A = this chain, B = another copy of it.
Amino acid sequence: MAEIYKIVEIVGTSPISFAEAVKAAVIEAAKTIRHMAWFEVVEERGSIADGAVLEFQVTVKVGFKLER
């Protein structure tokens, strides 16, 4: 039987890089979502304080297989 997936949108943050922000988002999502299979980056933003980057913010869509 053909598979069905659901996609949720999450924003991860990191003071270091975009890649670390993605990793943080996925690790957090793993606490409540099983069978995650892929992510795609939707938006890359960040906050600035005192004239320097404070935080990288990456919005990712995460896809996971629905259990049936």
Give A residues with C-beta under 8 Å from B: 2-19, 21-30, 34, 36-41, 43-48, 51-53, 55-56, 59, 61-63, 66, 68
Tell me the dominant secondary structure on chain A's binding face. strand
Task: Give how many copies assemble into the complex.
Answer: 12
Inter-subunit contact B28/A38 (CB<8 Å): no
Listed by A's residue number, 9 A-B pairs whose Cβ atoms lie within 8 Å are A2-B15, A4-B11, A4-B28, A9-B9, A27-B52, A28-B68, A29-B51, A40-B44, A40-B46
Q: A6-B10, A52-B23 are in contact. Are A39 and B28 (CB under 8 A)?
A: no
The distance from the CB of A2 to the nearest CB of chain B, in whole angstroms, is: 4
The distance from the CB of A31 to the nearest CB of chain B, in whole angstroms, is: 8
